[in-house]
Chains A and B, each alone.
Chain A
Amino acid sequence: QVQLQQSGPGLVKPSQTLSLSCAISGDSVSSNSAAWNWVRQSPSRGLEWLGRTYYRSKWYNDYAVSVKSRVIINPDTSKNQFSLQLKSVTPEDTAVYYCARDYCSRTGCTRFQVWGQGTLVTVSS
């Protein structure tokens, strides 16, 4: 059974970098049948997909245009986890952040089957 455990600070100052990690159990971050995503949720934006990382003989990333200039999602194979870094945050980045495992087959990645517990991140001085 795949489980995702999130960690990271709940309070970040404006202009600083938001950093969260998502530890994977029951699967490998290097799996060829998964993609590892970050999704956030706020009252103003609803559920918003931020990006993903996945391994298919090499590492790939996709990012939402809305955050592409500020976001990095990295795998950490030594710890079997992946991370989110969001730079230059503003109060608009205040949200609950979730990591999620995407089920993938030969035809593509199709559904968020497993989610982390969520982390409320508040951007405030």
Chain B
Amino acid sequence: DIQMTQSPSSLSASVGDRVTITCQASQDISHYLNWYQQKPGKAPKLLIYDASNLETGVPSRFSGSGSGTDFTFIISSLQPEDIATYYCQQYNNLPWTFGQGTKVEIK
């Protein structure tokens, strides 16, 4: 199975800050990576697909980049409603696997 490693596991930032989360795959997954947001008690929500494509309806302050084994997810200006846990997920090979999550909190 492909292992997905996210960092950091949690972070605290102020409203308006730029937030960066990284995800590293245990092998080359090309651009086959998605990012999800999960709020407490809710299902994950797709934000970014194919490493850098913004899902319809998702605010443009969210972005993603990377290919191969190293990927980055950015919130350009953190908003109070962005408090959540964020997950990366690879779909290069079955089984689809997820990172362990990054919990984002407001400072």
Interface string of B57-90 (1 = CB under 8 A from A): 0000000000000000000000000000001010
B34 at the interface (CB under 8 A from A): yes
A115 at the interface (CB under 8 A from B): yes
Report how far A118 CA is from B42 CA in the complex, Å.
8
A65 contacts which of B46, B55, B95 (Cβ < 8 Å)?
B95
Q: Is the interface on chain A under 10, 10 to 19, 20 to 34, or 35 or more residues?
A: 10 to 19
B interface vs A, CB < 8 Å? 1, 32, 34, 36, 42-46, 49-50, 55, 87, 89, 91, 94-101
A88 CB to closest chain B CB, in angstroms? 20
Report how far A80 CA is from B58 CA in the complex, Å.
29
Question: Contact between A112 and B46 (Cβ–Cβ < 8 Å)?
Answer: yes
Q: In the complex, what residue of chain A is closest to B35 when comparing beta carbons?
A: A111
Q: In the complex, what residue of chain A is closest to B48 when comparing beta carbons?
A: A111
Question: Contact between A113 and B87 (Cβ–Cβ < 8 Å)?
Answer: no
Question: Contact between B95 and A112 (Cβ–Cβ < 8 Å)?
Answer: no
Chain B residues, CB < 8 A from A2: none
B73 CB to closest chain A CB, in angstroms? 15
A54 at the interface (CB under 8 A from B): no
A62 at the interface (CB under 8 A from B): yes
Chain B residues, CB < 8 A from A113: 46, 55
Q: In the complex, what residue of chain A is closest to B95 when comparing beta carbons?
A: A64
Chain B residues, CB < 8 A from A98: 43-44
B43 contacts which of A46, A64, A110, A117 (Cβ < 8 Å)?
A117
- Nearest 5 pairs of A and B residues by beta carbon: A115-B43, A47-B98, A49-B96, A111-B49, A64-B95
